[in-house]
A and B are shown apart, each in its own frame.
Chain A
Amino acid sequence: MATSGTGNEPDTDDTGTAVSLQNVRKTYQLGEPVHALDGVSLDITRGSYTAIMGPSGSGKSTLMNLVGCLDTPTEGTVIVDGADVATLDDRERTTLRGTTVGFVFQTFNLMPRLTALENVALPQLFQNVGRGERRERARELLERVGLADRADHLPNELSGGQRQRVALARALVNDPALVLADEPSGNLDTETEADVLDLFAEFHGGGTTMIVVTHERHVAERAERIVHLLDGKLERIEDLGSANASDEADT
């Protein structure tokens, strides 16, 4: 299903591809250039579940930022939802971020002066959803991540794991077609981690494309395949078969 390679494969923009990276390079100029990503090509099929692993500094977050339309590559093309991110203007990219992509940041990035509920409802504020409807939806999502009783807490009144779950709820609030999660389980105890991973599986089962960055093997193994990065390069792709592909889809 998924194709990968280091070459510059021309991608037919078939609707089956959610994300396509072609020879992507991201270089930071700090005295001597730092290649955060150094020629990565990768296709991610719609509705697939991909884990990204690699040592610290290997370019995982950089990759996520590109796919999440927050950043643009120095070279190469990033195609998200059929559109070349580099050719989109700022407004279109923002719309893509708001409607198509749900991003769970490695550092949560919650609004410090908004309550958990308001944080979850925030993306809908920018999609012109009414206040009542927003709150209802946010409450529902908080319930799903097990935080209904913390709806009115500020982020600094929540534990790390709770914050992470608020961030997750926020990423899901607009029903994105693509969910990007950067180390979503880093701060969670085993039990909550399992809950969150179950939630991912549930979304995956509902047709959402999932990309999850993790350091932990057992988290990565919930995905259909694992992409290994090393020093900004694609090291290898590990296919776990379709064993996981449909485990939730049927339920």
Chain B
Amino acid sequence: MRPTESLRLAWRSIRGHKLRSALTTLGIVIGIAAVIAFVTLGASLQAGIIGDISPDDQRNSYGWAADPDTEGGPLAGAQPVFSQDDLDALNDDEDIDAAYGYMPLSTQALVYEGEISPQSDALVAAGPPYIRENTLEEGRQFEQGEREAVVNPAVAGQFEEDLEVGDELTIALQGGQQTTVTVVGITESSEGLSPFEGFEPSPRVYVPTDPFYTEDAAGAIPGGGGGGDGDGTDENGEANDGGEADENDEGGDGTDENETDTDAPDGPGDALFLAIVVEAESADESDIDRAKESALAYLESDESDASELLGDDLEITLQTSAELLQQLEDVLDLLQNFIVGIAAISLLVGSIGIANIMLVSVTERTREIGIMKAVGAQNREILGLFLAESVILGIVGAILGTLLGLIAGYLGAWYIDLPLVYPYEYVVLAIAVGVLVGIAAGLYPAWRAARTDPIDALRYE
């Protein structure tokens, strides 16, 4: 018998039991759907976050101080402990190419040519190297001590007339005061420049820590940690309350300025940075390790201001973005293994379901098997017929599961605002799994059918 004929006959007998067949495939549908949904989500996450890691920040280590028990990404539970003196000391270290503070600042609005665009958390104060040359679309880095800013395309394109290099931009800070900066550069993408910012695109203005944080902004938001700068810092807000140095809350009303003087207990009016970036000499692993070790050694030694503030609760984390992403990937991997485990169980249950229904079907159709054999059907043709049936069940389950999984995955990716990625190879894999499950589940029942003795089968009532 030709394979197409087997498939045609098998399809007919499946259609003869629509409900039964549908219920039988359910286990496969659920298993495959779970895998596909997760893979779609995972691939989208990968593309949305991990895929964006720029190779040129490889020599950067990102550091912050938090309770070691705090769970979460970069800056989770971070407390401001890094003083300008510490940074200066790190900069003098020969293992370290550059070290600068990082401070997210809360804003109220951006104003360009009289046009007001409300923006919270759009301001990031950092050192000039934070703007890497190759991330600039045009212009240059800002310089320390100047009222200059680099903006990303999300900011530049926000106004009726696009912001250009050389334009003046006014920033209304959370505290109420306004400051005007000259735009000296525009980045090429609106995604975050480091793990601190998170990786999803959002409007940001990058300014030098001096004067914007150490002078102006320090008054407004000493503790920083303005909730919106990426995934990690959302948790940061809640974890903040433990720190002595940071008494004001996120809401940061206009009167904060007055309290700030008391906020810097140690330094000579020094502002404290929430985080630091340490640049190694090169992207070499050994250079990076040395830079990290030197930085940590200094920060934890009695010489540093930071060590005073750390107390017993806080610990400094200093990691490269690759390491930070690795943690995220580890979580993803764990989740993936978990889902795959569930899917495997579901597929197993699904196969047992198919095998069970196929056995029932073989018994029900004993007489039909006898008739077919009596009129010349060979054993392998009977085997093929029943195998075809279970393989069709497996494939139909796989296809339905794939569709369902894709829909669920896309809805999920869309909901958390990730780019959609099509995991084609998994679709193919899912169909292959459907075929395999069909064969595995159908083999025994089909073999039972094939070796049925025709004379017994014809006598079967």
Contacts of A107 on B, CB cut-off 8 Å? Answer: 458
> Contact: B374 with A111, CB < 8 Å?
no
> Contact: A65 with B371, CB < 8 Å?
no
- Cβ 8 A contact of B374, one of A70, A99, A174: A70
Contacts of A71 on B, CB cut-off 8 Å? Answer: 455
In chain B, residues 364-388, which have Cβ atoms closer than 8 Å to a Cβ of chain A? 367-368, 370-379, 381
Interface string of B434-461 (1 = CB under 8 A from A): 0000000000000000000011001000
Chain A: CB-nearest residue to B12: A113
Answer whether residue A110 sits at the interface, using C-beta atoms and an 8 A cutoff: yes
Contacts of A97 on B, CB cut-off 8 Å? Answer: 373-376
Chain A: CB-nearest residue to B375: A123
Answer whether residue B327 sits at the interface, using C-beta atoms and an 8 A cutoff: no
Contacts of A12 on B, CB cut-off 8 Å? Answer: none
> Contact: A98 with B455, CB < 8 Å?
no
Chain B: CB-nearest residue to A71: B455
> Contact: A95 with B458, CB < 8 Å?
no
Given contacts A94-B373, A99-B376, A110-B371, contact A126 B1 (CB under 8 A): yes
Contacts of B455 on A, CB cut-off 8 Å? Answer: 65, 70-71
> Contact: B454 with A170, CB < 8 Å?
no
In chain B, residues 1-59, which have Cβ atoms closer than 8 Å to a Cβ of chain A? 1-2, 5, 12-13, 16
Interface string of A92-130 (1 = CB under 8 A from B): 001101110001010101111100000000110111100
> Contact: A111 with B371, CB < 8 Å?
yes
Q: Pick from B2, B16, B375 the residue with the most CB of A within 10 Å.
A: B375
Q: Pick from A65, A123, A126, A128 the residue with the most CB of B within 10 Å.
A: A126
- Cβ 8 A contact of B458, one of A109, A111, A122, A174: A109
In chain A, residues 59-104, which have Cβ atoms closer than 8 Å to a Cβ of chain B? 65, 68, 70-71, 90-91, 94-95, 97-99, 103
Give the Cβ gap from B130 to chain A, nearest Cβ, in Å: 73
> Contact: B368 with A111, CB < 8 Å?
yes
- Cβ 8 A contact of B368, one of A91, A94, A98, A112: A112
Give the Cβ gap from B238 to chain A, nearest Cβ, in Å: 65
Q: Pick from A97, A109, A174 the residue with the most CB of B within 10 Å.
A: A109
Q: Pick from B2, B374, B379 the residue with the most CB of A within 10 Å.
A: B374
> Contact: B375 with A126, CB < 8 Å?
yes
Contacts of B376 on A, CB cut-off 8 Å? Answer: 94-95, 97-99, 123, 126-127, 174
Contacts of A126 on B, CB cut-off 8 Å? Answer: 1, 372, 375-378, 381
* Complexed CA–CA distance, A186 and B217 (Å): 106
> Contact: B458 with A90, CB < 8 Å?
no
* Complexed CA–CA distance, A6 and B53 (Å): 95
* Complexed CA–CA distance, A123 and B378 (Å): 11
* Complexed CA–CA distance, A122 and B375 (Å): 8
> Contact: A105 with B375, CB < 8 Å?
no
Give the Cβ gap from B374 to chain A, nearest Cβ, in Å: 6
Give the Cβ gap from B32 to chain A, nearest Cβ, in Å: 30
* Complexed CA–CA distance, A127 and B376 (Å): 8
> Contact: A70 with B458, CB < 8 Å?
yes
> Contact: A170 with B375, CB < 8 Å?
yes
In chain A, residues 9-67, which have Cβ atoms closer than 8 Å to a Cβ of chain B? 65
Contacts of A99 on B, CB cut-off 8 Å? Answer: 376
> Contact: A125 with B5, CB < 8 Å?
yes
Contacts of A94 on B, CB cut-off 8 Å? Answer: 373, 376-379
In chain A, residues 181-209, which have Cβ atoms closer than 8 Å to a Cβ of chain B? none
Contacts of B368 on A, CB cut-off 8 Å? Answer: 111-113
> Contact: B1 with A125, CB < 8 Å?
yes
Chain B: CB-nearest residue to A122: B375
* Complexed CA–CA distance, A128 and B6 (Å): 11
Contacts of B377 on A, CB cut-off 8 Å? Answer: 94, 98, 126
> Contact: A103 with B381, CB < 8 Å?
no
Contacts of A68 on B, CB cut-off 8 Å? Answer: 374
Give the Cβ gap from B22 to chain A, nearest Cβ, in Å: 19
* Complexed CA–CA distance, A65 and B373 (Å): 13
* Complexed CA–CA distance, A112 and B12 (Å): 13
Contacts of A123 on B, CB cut-off 8 Å? Answer: 375-376
* Complexed CA–CA distance, A176 and B104 (Å): 91
Q: Pick from B12, B16, B378, B379 the residue with the most CB of A within 10 Å.
A: B378
Chain A: CB-nearest residue to B4: A131
* Complexed CA–CA distance, A110 and B371 (Å): 7
* Complexed CA–CA distance, A91 and B16 (Å): 30
* Complexed CA–CA distance, A91 and B378 (Å): 6
Given contacts A103-B375, A126-B376, A126-B381, 13 further A-B contacts (CB under 8 A): A70-B458, A71-B455, A94-B373, A94-B378, A94-B379, A97-B375, A97-B376, A111-B372, A126-B1, A126-B372, A128-B1, A131-B5, A170-B375
24 pairs from A and B in contact (CB 8 Å cutoff): A68-B374, A70-B374, A70-B454, A91-B378, A91-B379, A94-B377, A94-B379, A97-B373, A97-B376, A98-B375, A105-B374, A110-B371, A111-B371, A111-B372, A113-B368, A123-B375, A125-B5, A126-B1, A126-B372, A126-B375, A126-B377, A127-B376, A131-B5, A170-B375
B residues contacting A by CB (< 8 A) are 1-2, 5, 12-13, 16, 367-368, 370-379, 381, 454-455, 458
Going nearest first, the 4 A-B pairs with the smallest beta carbon separation are A98-B376, A123-B375, A126-B376, A126-B377
